[in-house]
Structure 1
Amino acid sequence: MKTSAGRFFEDYKLGEVITHAVPRTVSGGERALYHALYPARHALYSSDEFARASGLPQSPLEDMAAFHIVFGKTVPDISLNAVANLGYAEGRWLKPVYPGDTLRSESTVIGLKENSNGTSGVVWVRSRGFNQRGETVLDYVRWVMVHKGDPAAAAPEAVVPDLKPFVAAQDLVVPEGLDFSRYDFALAGERHRAADYAIGEKIDHVDGVTIEEAEHMLATRLWQNTAKVHFDATNRSDGRRLIYGGHVISLARALSFNGLANAQMMVALNAGSHANPCFAGDTIRAWSEVIDKAETSAPGVAAVRLRLVAVKQETQPLVLRGDDKKYLPGVLLDLDYWALMPA
């Protein structure tokens, strides 16, 4: 048999290392398509001149675009038969990705747990993206619910990894040469620096974007994400195509420009949950909460820890959970990350 139906839950083995197929050389095309798909306007990723003035050799590929490329390579082996992608932890961007770089991915299975229904299970993997020099550009953990191919297959011994609640500030990697001491706030679009934000402050990003069916499928194809639930309506009982969670992250991150224009670089993904499913026709809005701030050794560069929340339009602004402590039905994304901005 020449074709593959993909892996099911019973096909994973704890400690297994999976090398993912099809390396990808990135170009300015990925940047142009990223900006066409999302309202992305952060100056560092839009202008080579702005990036050079900030100490980088040129404008890098957006952090989330690099994430999508690395993530997409893992899908045929990890989440082709997924019910849903559930969350992220311990993510770090370790090297900027520039046009001309070639990215490949590798994953290690670090946890397995069958669900009580016996028809699916949760798989935890640590995935890494490498460039053409073998340098790790991205490292993160995610967990995904995967169908069983044979409900009668024996369940593996349950192993749930002990994951850190967040990446410590001292473990953040600041790109070599980054320097915000001569930062141009006018060109960046806002005057707010890290010192202007208070821990606990919430920022309503005001704007909204309605997701279209063709648009999200184009994005998912761009990242070579082949998960069936994003394309084949027969793979869900409701007959609807599920929006790739990374698409929601990029939309929310782009919307956060209004209020966080100077949060230029994502350097860590502390935790993330896709709280509720997202479908075409949903209008996405976003708000952020400042969780923490830290100094870095780079000139003029501070790190700000942020919670980014994406919600459907009708959801109450700036509220994450109900009285029962559960996510509100309209909450789509709860993402905890570190970003670099002028001190």
Structure 2
Amino acid sequence: MKTNPGRYFEDYQLGEVLRHAVPRSIGPGERALYHALYPARAALYSSDEFARASGLAASPLDDLIAFHTVFGKTVPDVSLNAVANLGYAEGRWLKPVWPGDTLRAESEVIGLKENSNGKSGVLYVRTRGFNQHDEVVLEYSRWVMVKKRRDVPAADPVVPELKKAVAAADLVVPEGLDFSRYDFALAGEPHRWGDYAIGEKIDHIDGITVEEAEHMLATRLWQNTSKVHFDVTQREDGRRLIYGGHVISLARTLSFNGLANAQMIVALNGGAHANPCFSGDTVRAWSEVLDKAETPAPGVGALRLRLVAVKQGAAPFALKGEDGRYLPEVLLDLDYWALIPL
């Protein structure tokens, strides 16, 4: 048999290292498509001149381009037969990704836990993305619900202990980054690190309606081959599930209105895809400031932000019900660190 149906839950072994095919060289074309899909407007990722004025050699590729590319590499080995991608932890962007870089990925199986129905299980992996110099540019952990192929006894469950947040001291600021001469007019908003307060909530106001065509373009662009995104027969309701990363990028783009100067994502503390998103849903977003920290880089501070994506019908800043479960309108609950001028 030369074809590959993909792995199922019982095919994974604790401690196993998966080397993912296929390395991918990425360039300005990915940036253009990314900005067309999400309309991203962060100045540091839009302008070489703005990036040079901020101490970098040129404008790097968007942090989420790096994330989506590395994530897409893992799908055939990790989540081809997934029911849903469940969450993230311990993510860090360690080096900028530049146009022309080639990225590859490896994942280690760090946890396995069969679900009580015996038809699926939760797989935990730690993924690292490398550039052509074998430097780690990105690392994160995630857990995904994967179908079982057959009724076989499961091994004893192992659930890894994952940190609730990346410590501010462990954030990696790109070498040379300097916001001491930051141009707020060109960036689009006047708000700096000191203007945000812990506990503050920001309604990003705008909305984007998801269309089938853009989602399919995004999943193909990032080479995300998970069956639930392509094949309508994979779900009982006959609907294609919108790729969770698509929702992340939509929400991040919407957050420009109120957080335009939160230029670079440098850590992913946690995240949950709370409810499925489908074509026709209108995505809106709000943020909460969870923490603040200064960094050793000149003029550079960090904000820890909760980014929540919701769909139509959501009440302002509503997240969970009295039972502690996410409300049905909540699509994404993401906790991350971003760099912002002091």
**Category of TM-score, reference length = shorter chain:** over 0.9
CA displacement, residues 203-243 of structure 1 (integer Å, 9 cap, x when unaligned): 00000000001110110000000000001000000000000
CA displacement, residues 165-189 of structure 1 (integer Å, 9 cap, x when unaligned): 0000000000000000000000000
- Separation in 1, partners of 2:324, 2:117: 25
Q: SS state of the match for residue 228, structure 2?
A: helix
User: RMSD value over aligned CA atoms?
Assistant: 0.5
CA displacement, residues 317-341 of structure 1 (integer Å, 9 cap, x when unaligned): 1111122221111000000000000
Q: Is the 8 A contact 1:9 1:147 kept in 2?
A: yes
Q: Is the 8 A contact 1:208 1:313 kept in 2?
A: no
Q: For residue 301 of structure 1, what is the aligned residue in structure 2?
A: 300
Q: Report deviation, 1:154.
A: 1.8
CA displacement, residues 239-294 of structure 1 (integer Å, 9 cap, x when unaligned): 00000000000000000000000000000000000000000000000000000000
- Separation in 1, partners of 2:303, 2:98: 24
Return the TM-score normalized by structure 2.
1.00
Q: For residue 171 of structure 1, what is the aligned residue in structure 2?
A: 170
Q: For residue 40 of structure 1, what is the aligned residue in structure 2?
A: 40
Q: SS state of the match for residue 21, structure 2?
A: coil
- Separation in 2, partners of 1:323, 1:143: 26
Q: For residue 2 of structure 2, what is the aligned residue in structure 1?
A: 2
- Separation in 1, partners of 2:257, 2:277: 23
- Separation in 2, partners of 1:192, 1:30: 29
Q: Read off the aligned partner of 1:136 and give its amino acid letter.
A: V
Q: For residue 268 of structure 2, what is the aligned residue in structure 1?
A: 269
- Separation in 1, partners of 2:33, 2:174: 24
* Unaligned runs of at least 5 residues, structure 2: none
- Separation in 1, partners of 2:59, 2:312: 33
- Separation in 2, partners of 1:218, 1:295: 38
Q: For residue 28 of structure 2, what is the aligned residue in structure 1?
A: 28
The residue correspondences of 1:171-210 to structure 2 (distance < 5 A) are 171-210=170-209
Paired residues in the alignment total 342
CA displacement, residues 7-41 of structure 1 (integer Å, 9 cap, x when unaligned): 00000000000000010001100000000100210
* 2:59 pairs with 1:67: no
Q: SS state of the match for residue 190, structure 2?
A: coil
Q: Report deviation, 1:157.
A: 1.4
Q: Is the 8 A contact 1:90 1:163 kept in 2?
A: yes
- Separation in 1, partners of 2:80, 2:205: 35
- Separation in 2, partners of 1:306, 1:219: 25
Q: Read off the aligned partner of 2:251 and give its amino acid letter.
A: A
Q: Read off the aligned partner of 1:192 and give its amino acid letter.
A: H
- Separation in 1, partners of 2:286, 2:18: 36
Q: SS state of the match for residue 240, structure 2?
A: coil
* 2:97 pairs with 1:97: yes
- Separation in 1, partners of 2:317, 2:147: 35
Q: Is the 8 A contact 1:18 1:106 kept in 2?
A: yes
Q: Read off the aligned partner of 1:153 and give its amino acid letter.
A: V
Q: For residue 331 of structure 1, what is the aligned residue in structure 2?
A: 330
CA displacement, residues 135-193 of structure 1 (integer Å, 9 cap, x when unaligned): 0000000000000011x112021000000000000000000000000000000000000
